[in-house]
Amino acid sequence: MNGVKMEMDGHLNKDFHQEVFLGKEIEEFEEDSEPRRNRKKLIEIFTKVDFNKDKSVSAKEMQRWIMEKTEEHFQEAMVENKNSFHGVDPDANGQVTWDEYRVKFLASKGFNEKEVAEKVKNNEDLKLDEETQEVLESLKDRWFQADNNPNDQLLNEQEFLSFLHPEHSKGMLQYMVKEIVRDLDQDGDKKLTLSEFISLPVGTVENQQAQDIDDDWVRERKKEFEDVIDSDRNGIVTMTELEEYMDPMNEHNALNEAKQMIAVADENQNHNLELDEILKYSEYFTGSKLMDYARNVHEEF
């Protein structure tokens, strides 16, 4: 989910800061893109973020920009939802059944749509592999959570939006939080300790590379837990704290994110970002390295 800090499976969204900095232009910054073109695009973005045109980006300006980009992601999600809804509503009656969605979902995973539809119609065993079955069960739980009153097991377009994009709905956001806590909470107190939050997924470490990945996982989650999610710094994350953290339209979170982004590149320690700092740390902001970032910067600007 673009513009959301934590995925539905509890994994941190590593591209979050890039998504809320670049918005829909994120796809234009590819690893193999021409550096000079990307540098020009980044300069254009800097001039937009610099609302007061003083050639420096403050935390407040970055916060405002993050909120604008988050809203942009929301609007894109609504357009995508409309197209997806029409795709799974074959009779165009404005409502989608679980079976209609299930058939389309399995077809998107490579199953024969006609065969699946026939088996669903006749209530036959679909003979799915364990992983696909688990995904379907998770989706079905979310389906029923998105089904507002009356609970008719049919989703209209707005409910379907809550199903596909839980971040759009307060109730679904709370449901996501409960699911994540349920998966990570080891002692059943409906809260998360640091050790619970950084616990590794079940699996065996096969080599040093895998061990390094695991170490990165622990380090990143520990920093996020202590610096951001645990807002009262008591070593325990409640459902309320996690919900506030995951709410993409939380202005306080946007300000914290803005300060973090500035801190990464603020070499002169003035708590603002200048153009040369953003260009130098372009990989952090865009996912792409911009070679020769300093060359002709002022002329281009």
pLDDT of residue 208 exceeding 70, the answer is no
Does residue 21 or residue 275 have the better pLDDT? 275
Q: What is the pLDDT of residue 239?
A: 94
Contact between residue 186 and residue 199 where contact means Cβ atoms under 8 Å apart: yes
Of 48-52, 104-108, 257-261, 292-296, the poorest mean pLDDT is in 292-296
The C-alpha atoms of residue 86 and residue 48 are separated, in whole angstroms, by 36
The C-alpha atoms of residue 166 and residue 174 are separated, in whole angstroms, by 9
The C-alpha atoms of residue 23 and residue 66 are separated, in whole angstroms, by 9
pLDDT band, very low/low/confident/very high, at 294 (cuts 50, 70, 90): very low
Residue with structure tokens 């130098």? 280
Contact between residue 219 and residue 213 where contact means Cβ atoms under 8 Å apart: no
pLDDT of residue 297 exceeding 60, the answer is no
pLDDT tens-digit readout, 91-126? 888 999 999 999 999 999 999 999 999 999 999 999
Q: What is the pLDDT of residue 186?
A: 92
Q: What is the pLDDT of residue 111?
A: 93
Q: Residue 2 corresponds to which amino acid? A: N
User: Residue 93, SS3?
Assistant: coil
User: Between β-strands 96-97 and 154-155, what pairing exists: parallel, antiparallel or unpaired?
Assistant: antiparallel
State mean pLDDT over 10-22: 78
Q: Can you give the pTM of this predicted structure?
A: 0.72
Tokens linked to 75: 């609007």
pLDDT band, very low/low/confident/very high, at 73 (cuts 50, 70, 90): confident
pLDDT tens-digit readout, 211-264? 666 778 788 889 889 988 999 999 999 999 999 888 888 888 888 889 988 998
112 Ramachandran zone, left/alpha/beta (phi>0; psi -120 to 50): beta
pLDDT of residue 157 exceeding 60, the answer is yes
